[in-house]
Structure 1
Amino acid sequence: MNAYIFPGQGAQFVGMGLDLYEKYSIAKEMFDQANEILGFPITETMFNGTAEGLKETKVTQPAIFLHSVVLSKIMGESFKPNMVAGHSLGEFSALVANGTLNFEDGLQLVSKRALAMQKACELQKSTMAAVLGLDDETVEKVCADTPGIVVAANYNCPGQLVISGEVEAINLACDKMKEAGARRALVLPVGGAFHSPLMEPAREELALAIENTSFAKPSCPIYQNVTTTAVKEEKEIKKNLISQLTAPVKWAQSVQNMITDGATLFTEIGPGKVLQGLVKKIDASVATQSPELE
């Protein structure tokens, strides 16, 4: 069975999408349409901007979403997923891919999500850190025992978790992780504490936008970050998408469930190959690939 997976923030690079824009008329059409929908020329930053400009949340999220969705459209008839999943932001790309959301609504939601998250980041100094070489339970216990807000945010693959929370709590937790035997505990260059309780103001804002957007019956199940299991019911998809901002991204568990349910090939649609690497660390026997374009 074919599983299609879609990356999240961090996969961006300067020049992303330019080759698609120049080669495929459908890509040019969608990129031009995105500039209109967003009200600013995002293609300018994607194609010719700086790494710094591309790192801004309000640009990064729509840029990665755009790249992923455009790629899936270019694939045309060969795009036949039996199941989909997306890492954090990638969940929106996955929902366009399986027909739950149309392109325009998906892009508007991603833009609203990015702006809401940016605002939440500005309310309180917060950050995230990568923890390598510890099991999930140890990371969760250290977080629970650390004063302040700090939680496990991304379960990327066995032995690789990202924690999220207040700056002081993160720094303290990193020291404790190293004492507990972590190979590394490294603060990440991000703007805030994504997938933590500190994103609550953004969750409330996004909830309103999602509730007012129409979702269609998906063509295949999505394995959502919050539940990790196959979902095909529009109401449940909406609920999980809203919860996602303050809940952890359970990527390792989602991929494991997709494999259990019959996934034999994972195709990563979007910039980079980060998710293919994670899938291999979760189960080395599973095949991964990037899309083949004509």
Structure 2
Amino acid sequence: MKAFVFPGQGAQFPGMGKDLYDNNATAKNYFEQANDILGFDLSKIMFEGSAEELKQTKVTQPAIFLHSVVTALVSDDFKPDMVAGHSLGEFSALVANGTLSFEDGLSLVFKRAMAMQKACELQESTMAAVLALPDETVEEICREIDEVVVAANYNCPGQLVISGSVKGVEVACEKLKAAGAKRALVLPVGGAFHSPLMEPAREELAAAIQETNFNEPKCPVYQNVDAKGHTVISDIKTNLVSQLTAPVRWTQSVQSMIMDGARTFVECGPGKVLQGLVKKIDGGVETTSL
């Protein structure tokens, strides 16, 4: 069975999507449509913008979504038995498997990006990558700190991202290094994604999701919140909302897909980050990209 997976924030690069736009008429239409829906020239920033311009949340999230979704939709090889996305990538996965229309998916991603940006501005917050410690050790150290700091991304065994207040993350990094972490490095991100500090954004996104039409999915989506495959619309909606303040259980999602029969993982979108993570989770599966 084939699992198609979609990357999240951080996969962007200058010039992304230009090949698609130049070489495929259907792709070009999607890009033009996206510019109209958003009310600004996203394509121009993707093709000509600097890394700095692409790093703005309101640009990054729709840019990665657009690149990922169009890659899947214009490919003859896109025949998924299951889909999943890392954080933002879950929205790309839901358009690819027919749960959301392209227009609704893009609108939701943009609303999510703006809501997250606002939440980031309410309190100074950040994230940090932690290498070579057991998940349980990281969780325990975060619990002991008298600040908001939580495990946010379970990327692969021995690679976890924590998220919280600037002070909470700094204190956690010191304690994690003392506990034997190979690295505990603060990341250049604008806020504490997948932590309780995203609560204001979660409320905004919940309202937008309630107003959006969801269709029966063509195949299960393995969602970040519980790492299980879902086809029931009400469950998918609930999990999408919860995702903003809950951790991304990527390791567990990949393990669930493998348990359910996935033997090939195909990455759709910019970069090859997810292929690398999948290989670290289980070296026995095949990985490729569209």
Shared fold per TM-score greater than 0.5 = yes
Partner of 1:277: 276
CA deviation after TM superposition for structure 1 residue 238, in Å: 0.2
- 1:216-269 per-residue CA deviation (whole Å, 9 max, x = no partner) reads 000000000001011000000000000000000000000000001100000000
Cα separation, 2, equivalents of 1:6 and 1:192: 22
- 1:79-129 per-residue CA deviation (whole Å, 9 max, x = no partner) reads 110000000000000000100000000000000000000000000000000
Question: SS in structure 2 opposite 1:242?
Answer: helix
Partner of 2:143: 144
Partner of 1:74: 74
Cα separation, 1, equivalents of 2:73 and 2:172: 43
Alignment of 1:245-256 (within 5 A): 245-256=244-255
Alignment of 1:16-95 (within 5 A): 16-76=16-76, 78-95=77-94
Question: SS in structure 1 opposite 2:4?
Answer: strand
Partner of 2:198: 199
Partner of 1:3: 3
CA deviation after TM superposition for structure 1 residue 134, in Å: 0.3
Question: SS in structure 1 opposite 2:100?
Answer: coil
Q: Letter of the 1:178 partner, please give it.
A: K
Q: Letter of the 1:208 partner, please give it.
A: A
Partner of 1:105: 104
CA deviation after TM superposition for structure 1 residue 74, in Å: 1.4
Q: Letter of the 1:52 partner, please give it.
A: E
Q: Using structure 2 for the length normalisation, give the TM-score.
A: 1.00
Cα separation, 1, equivalents of 2:221 and 2:19: 29
Cα separation, 1, equivalents of 2:68 and 2:98: 14
- Unpaired stretches in structure 1, ≥5 consecutive residues: none
- 1:121-150 per-residue CA deviation (whole Å, 9 max, x = no partner) reads 000000000000000000000000011000
Question: SS in structure 1 opposite 2:275?
Answer: helix
Cα separation, 2, equivalents of 1:27 and 1:256: 32
Cα separation, 2, equivalents of 1:230 and 1:13: 30
- 1:127-179 per-residue CA deviation (whole Å, 9 max, x = no partner) reads 00000000000000000001100000000000000000000010000000001
Cα separation, 2, equivalents of 1:176 and 1:59: 35
- Unpaired stretches in structure 2, ≥5 consecutive residues: none
Question: SS in structure 1 opposite 2:94?
Answer: helix
CA deviation after TM superposition for structure 1 residue 21, in Å: 0.3
Q: Letter of the 1:204 partner, please give it.
A: E
Output the aligned Cα RMSD: 0.4
Cα separation, 2, equivalents of 1:158 and 1:68: 25
Question: SS in structure 1 opposite 2:66?
Answer: helix
Cα separation, 1, equivalents of 2:73 and 2:268: 10
Q: Letter of the 2:67 partner, please give it.
A: H
Q: Letter of the 1:262 partner, please give it.
A: G
Q: Letter of the 1:234 partner, please give it.
A: I
Partner of 1:12: 12
Question: SS in structure 1 opposite 2:248?
Answer: coil
CA deviation after TM superposition for structure 1 residue 41, in Å: 0.3
Q: Using structure 1 for the length normalisation, give the TM-score.
A: 0.98
Partner of 1:217: 216
Cα separation, 2, equivalents of 1:97 and 1:74: 10
Cα separation, 1, equivalents of 2:224 and 2:73: 24
Identical amino acids, percent of aligned pairs: 69
Partner of 1:167: 166
Alignment of 1:222-237 (within 5 A): 222-237=221-236
Q: Letter of the 2:123 partner, please give it.
A: Q
